[in-house]
Amino acid sequence: MSGIYLHIPFCKQACHYCDFHFSTSTRKKSRLVDMLCREMILRKSEIPASIETIYFGGGTPSLLSSEELQQIFETIFSNFQVAEDAEITLEANPDDLSEEKIAQLAASPVNRLSIGVQSFFEDDLQLMNRAHNETEALESLQAAKKHFENISIDLIYGIPGLTDEKWKENLKIALELEIPHISSYALTIEADTALEKFIEKGKLQPVEDEQYRRQFDILVQTLTQAGFEHYEFSNYGKTGFHSRNNMAYWLGKPYLGVGPSAHSFDGKQRKWNISNNSLYINSLEMEKIPQETEELSINDRYNEYVMTRLRTKFGVNVLELEQDFGRKYRDYFERNAENFLQQELMLRSDLVYLITKKGKFLSDGIAADLFYID
Ligand code: SF4
C-alpha cells in the first residue's frame, strides 16, 4: 500500500498564521503542473506500484483548473496502478467552491473534499486573513454535500477573541451540516508569520494556554458525544469516514510527495523537495529532482514511531516495537512509560500503551519524554 501526495503551491492571499510553502502569484501555475507531472514520471519507481491514496494538498489545490487536474490524473493513471477504491482527496477553500466547480470536481476522480473552513464567524476569518467569508463557508458546504459524501472540514480553535460560546457554535454548525470528518487544530504562532509580528508589536494578545486546553476539551467532548471517533490528536471521523491518507502516514506506509516543498518517505529515507517554485521548475526542466535526502537512523525511526502512534488510537505496541527496533528500545520505552502510567496519563492494555483521556492534550510532550536520544 502506498500513496501520492501532490503539493499545489499557490494561494489567493496569505493567511496570517500560515507557514506552508505557497506563492500568491499564479503566473507559473501551468508550467508548474507540467513539471509536477514530469516529476511523477521520473520518480515512479520509488514507491510500490499499487496506489491506495492520492492527496492534493497545499497551498490551495482548488485553484487548479479542470484541465490541469485532468492532466495530472492522466499522468497518474498512465504511470501508476491505482486501486479501484483509492481515496482521492483534494483540499479546497470555500471561496473556490462554486456549484459549477464542485460539479467539475465530482466528475473527476476526486472522491473526497477537505474544505478549509476554519471558522463560521466573519471576525475570526478576517483576523486570520482567510480569503472566504462567513456566507461562503456555509454555502460551499451546502453545495459540496449535493455532490460528495466524503467531506472533511478544518476548524481552528485557540484564535484570539474566540470565546467558548463561539467555538461551541462552530461545532454545532458543523454537526448540523452532518459533516462526517473534522480536522481541528490549535492556532499556533509560527515564526515569520504576520500573526507573530502582530503579537511582537502588541497589536494582538497571545492566547493563554488555558483557552487552548478548554477549547480542546470542548472539541473532544462535543464530537465524541455526537458519534465521532477521536482517532488521532487532531482528527475525528464517523464510521467509514476516517482519512485513509492520514492513517497510512501514521502507520509509516511509503508515499511519494511531488511538487515544491513536498516530502516523501520509503520506510527508511525521508526526502524533501526545494521550497521555491521557480527553482523547482528550472530543475525539473533539466530533468533533475531538486531534493535533499535524509537517511533515518534507528533512533529517528523509533522517535517517529512513538510520536505518531501516541497521537493515534493505535498506541504503541511493545511487541511491534521490539520486532522493528530491538529489545533495547522496548525496555527503554517500558521503563520510561512507567511514570506516565502512574500519573494515569497513559494506560496499558495487553501489549499496547495508549494515552488516556486525561493525557490527551499533553500527548506530544509525553511522546517527547519517551524519545531515545544518544
Ligand atoms: S490557504 Fe492554506 S496554504 Fe494558503 S495561506 Fe491560507 S492556510 Fe496557508
pLDDT value of residue 188: 92
Q: What would the pLDDT profile of 69-112 be if each residue is shown by its tens digit?
A: 999 999 999 999 999 999 999 999 999 999 999 999 999 999 99
**CB 120 within 8 Å of CB 169:** yes
Is any atom of ligand 1 closer than 6 Å to the C-beta of 58? Answer: yes
Radius of gyration of the chain (CA): 21
pLDDT value of residue 252: 86
pLDDT value of residue 200: 94
User: How far apart are the CA of 36 and the centre of ligand 1, in A?
Assistant: 20
Residues facing 294 on adjacent strands: 270
d(CA 250, CA 53) in angstroms, rounded, equals 13
Share of the chain above pLDDT 70, in %: 100
| For ligand 1, atom 8: residue with the closest CA | 18
Distances from the Cα of 341 to the Cαs of 224, 307, 310, 364, in angstroms? Answer: 24, 17, 13, 16
pLDDT value of residue 232: 94
**pLDDT, average across residues 191-209:** 93
User: How far apart are the CA of 30 and the centre of ligand 1, in A?
Assistant: 20
- Of ligand 1's listed atoms, the one at least distance from the Cα of 91 is 2
pLDDT value of residue 374: 80
Peptide linkage before 59 cis (omega within 30 of 0): yes
Is any atom of ligand 1 closer than 6 Å to the C-beta of 187? Answer: no
d(CA 60, CA 115) in angstroms, rounded, equals 10
91 by Cβ neighbours in 10 Å (0-12 / 13-18 / 19+) ranks as: buried
Asked whether the predicted pLDDT for residue 325 surpasses 90, the reply is: yes
pLDDT value of residue 1: 74
Sign of CA dihedral 239, 136, 213, 310: positive
Phi, psi (5° rounding) for residue 308?
-70, -40
d(CA 61, CA 230) in angstroms, rounded, equals 27
Asked whether the predicted pLDDT for residue 113 surpasses 90, the reply is: yes
For the chain, give the mean pLDDT. Answer: 96
d(CA 194, CA 311) in angstroms, rounded, equals 29
Asked whether the predicted pLDDT for residue 56 surpasses 80, the reply is: yes
Q: What would the pLDDT profile of 129-179 be if each residue is shown by its tens digit?
A: 999 999 999 999 999 999 999 999 999 999 999 999 999 999 999 999 999
pLDDT value of residue 267: 83
pLDDT value of residue 190: 93
Asked whether the predicted pLDDT for residue 49 surpasses 80, the reply is: no
Is any atom of ligand 1 closer than 6 Å to the C-beta of 194? Answer: no
Phi, psi (5° rounding) for residue 241?
-120, 15
**pLDDT, average across residues 36-61:** 94
- Of ligand 1's listed atoms, the one at least distance from the Cα of 13 is 5
pLDDT tier at 48 (50, 70, 90 boundaries)? confident
d(CA 293, CA 265) in angstroms, rounded, equals 10
Asked whether the predicted pLDDT for residue 11 surpasses 80, the reply is: yes
User: How far apart are the CA of 15 and the centre of ligand 1, in A?
Assistant: 6
User: How far apart are the CA of 167 and the centre of ligand 1, in A?
Assistant: 21
pLDDT tier at 50 (50, 70, 90 boundaries)? confident
